[in-house]
């Protein structure tokens, strides 16, 4: 309490001391896509199969994610337009429209995985059949997205992420973690025999196309670019703190997933690739409370990621008409429904949820390189970004990430086909 009083006192004495707090928020919404059901599946599988060894993959993927999300946010801050709007404005229709259509298909594929995540959690917690659970998740997400503003959604998502984080803190303190080993493997690369596909899966689950559209829109919705160069400069500085802070939270939670799986499953020679199986196995190993908290955290992850995915669908569709996202506007509403309704329909025709989740990731593998390259083309253009266009070492890093991610996704796609 004394810390908070001191902060309040300093803020009264110098109102600018805590000014950065008003810039915090957009990054947290993006973090949700970093801890969605797809991440849970790949992390649990990696930890149960290889112990602490693949923690460095989370660190590497987080570094790339920070670079790309920071770059997406810069586009929104400087231009006052999101990635979808910028593509419509600055590219020929025959180039922009196919990319945005495939991005919309990617949001459907992502929404499919997120809704299934919510349904699996409801099945674990309340024994609700998956298809009914999917309808419940869809109904809640649709109502919540249509009835709330950015500000409210930010607050709810921050609460959800906090619950997920505290859940893993509880899980971690109940197990015996070798912290020296886990810290070493978080920064020292090591590739165990047969681990290549798991490595690709962990990285591929982190950078998702809908998150790049989402971040550029959320940040530009505050319209800092209309308040002068000084405000833009300040926002660019504070945005990096927001992105770094938020992605670090995601990094910690993802590492906690692998550590939990390593200690509980790998050390007991149990390989797990299914979330329901992981939750069931926690009961005899750590007790029923641990299993319930794990499932509750998974439920909040599924619901919150479904909400941000639905918003991304509205952002992409509205952007095709050179409009910003506004849930009261028809195009934004249609985009949200385009993302959620087909995803729900497909769930009713799925018999094997795990295989369906794999297929949904293949769609993202196909689309992600197009979105990343689109973003870097726009943010490297002086015509679009002016003096804030990518340059020097940052430009090299960004394009290196784009090439690496493109190669990664091509390998995943070929592996699935072959």
Distance between CA 305 and CA 413 in Å, rounded? 24
Looking up tokens 């849930």, which residue turns up?
A: 327
In a domain, 341, yes or no: yes
Alpha-carbon distances of 414 from 107, 335, 406, 407, 411, rounded to whole Å? 22, 30, 12, 11, 5
In a domain, 5, yes or no: no
In a domain, 11, yes or no: no
Most confident of 1-10, 72-81, 176-185: 176-185
Which pLDDT score, from 0 to 100, does residue 7 have? Answer: 41
In a domain, 19, yes or no: no
Which pLDDT score, from 0 to 100, does residue 299 have? Answer: 92
The pLDDT tens digits of the residues spanning 215-264 come to 888 876 555 545 556 666 777 777 888 888 888 999 999 999 999 999 99
Q: How many domains does the chain have?
A: 1
**CATH classification at residue 339:** 1.20.1740.10
Distance between CA 133 and CA 22 in Å, rounded? 37
Q: Is the pLDDT of residue 318 over 90?
A: yes
Distance between CA 214 and CA 41 in Å, rounded? 23
Distance between CA 403 and CA 63 in Å, rounded? 15
Distance between CA 73 and CA 388 in Å, rounded? 12
In a domain, 16, yes or no: no
In a domain, 14, yes or no: no
Distance between CA 227 and CA 210 in Å, rounded? 28
In a domain, 98, yes or no: no
Burial annotation 274-285 (CB, 10 A radius, 16+ → b, else e): bbbbbbebbeee
Distance between CA 256 and CA 172 in Å, rounded? 7
Average pLDDT score over residue span 148-157:
80
Q: Are 100 and 343 in contact (CB under 8 A)?
A: no
pLDDT cut 90: percent of the chain above it: 38
For residue 15, how many other CB atoms are within 10 A of its CB?
9
The pLDDT tens digits of the residues spanning 252-311 come to 999 999 999 999 999 888 888 677 778 877 777 777 888 888 889 999 999 999 999 999
In a domain, 293, yes or no: yes
Q: Where in the sequence is the domain holding 77, given as residue range(s)? A: 24-92+104-417
The pLDDT tens digits of the residues spanning 155-167 come to 888 888 888 988 8
């Amino acid at each position: 309490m004394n810390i908070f009083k001191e902060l309040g006192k300093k803020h009264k004495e110098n109102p600018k001391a805590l000014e950065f707090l008003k810039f915090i928020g957009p990054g947290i919404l993006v973090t949700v896509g970093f801890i969605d059901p797809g991440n849970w599946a790949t992390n649990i599988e990696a930890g149960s199969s290889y112990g602490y060894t693949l923690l460095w993959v989370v660190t590497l993927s987080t570094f790339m994610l920070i670079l790309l999300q920071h770059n997406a946010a810069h586009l929104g801050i400087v231009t006052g337009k999101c990635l979808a709007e910028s593509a419509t404005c600055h590219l020929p229709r025959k180039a922009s429209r196919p990319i945005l259509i495939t991005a919309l298909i990617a949001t459907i594929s992502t929404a499919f995985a997120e809704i299934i995540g919510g349904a699996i959690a409801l099945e674990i917690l309340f024994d609700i059949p998956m298809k009914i659970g999917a309808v419940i998740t869809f109904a809640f997400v649709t109502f919540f997205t249509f009835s709330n503003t950015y500000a409210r959604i930010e607050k709810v998502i921050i609460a959800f992420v906090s619950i997920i984080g505290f859940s893993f803190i509880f899980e971690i303190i109940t197990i015996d973690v070798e912290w020296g080993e886990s810290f070493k493997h978080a920064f020292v690369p090591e590739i165990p025999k047969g681990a290549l596909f798991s490595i690709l899966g962990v990285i591929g689950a982190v950078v998702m196309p809908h998150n790049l559209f989402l971040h550029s829109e959320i940040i530009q919705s505050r319209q800092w670019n209309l308040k002068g160069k000084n405000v833009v400069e300040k926002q660019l500085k504070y945005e990096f703190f927001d992105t770094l802070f938020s992605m670090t939270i995601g990094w910690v939670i993802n590492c906690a997933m692998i550590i939990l799986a390593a200690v509980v499953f790998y050390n007991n020679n149990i390989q797990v690739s299914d979330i329901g199986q992981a939750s069931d196995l926690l009961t005899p190993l750590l007790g029923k409370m641990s299993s319930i908290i794990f499932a509750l955290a998974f439920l909040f992850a599924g619901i919150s990621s479904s909400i941000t995915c639905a918003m991304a669908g509205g952002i992409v569709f509205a952007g095709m008409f050179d409009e910003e996202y506004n849930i009261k506007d028809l195009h934004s509403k249609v985009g949200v429904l385009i993302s959620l309704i087909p995803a729900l329909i497909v769930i009713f025709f799925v018999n094997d949820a795990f295989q369906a989740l794999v297929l949904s990731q293949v769609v993202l593998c196909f689309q992600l390189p197009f979105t990343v390259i689109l973003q870097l083309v726009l943010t490297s253009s002086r015509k679009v970004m002016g003096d804030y266009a990518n340059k020097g070492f940052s430009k090299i890093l960004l394009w290196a990430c784009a090439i690496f991610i493109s190669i990664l996704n091509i390998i995943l796609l070929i592996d699935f086909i072959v």
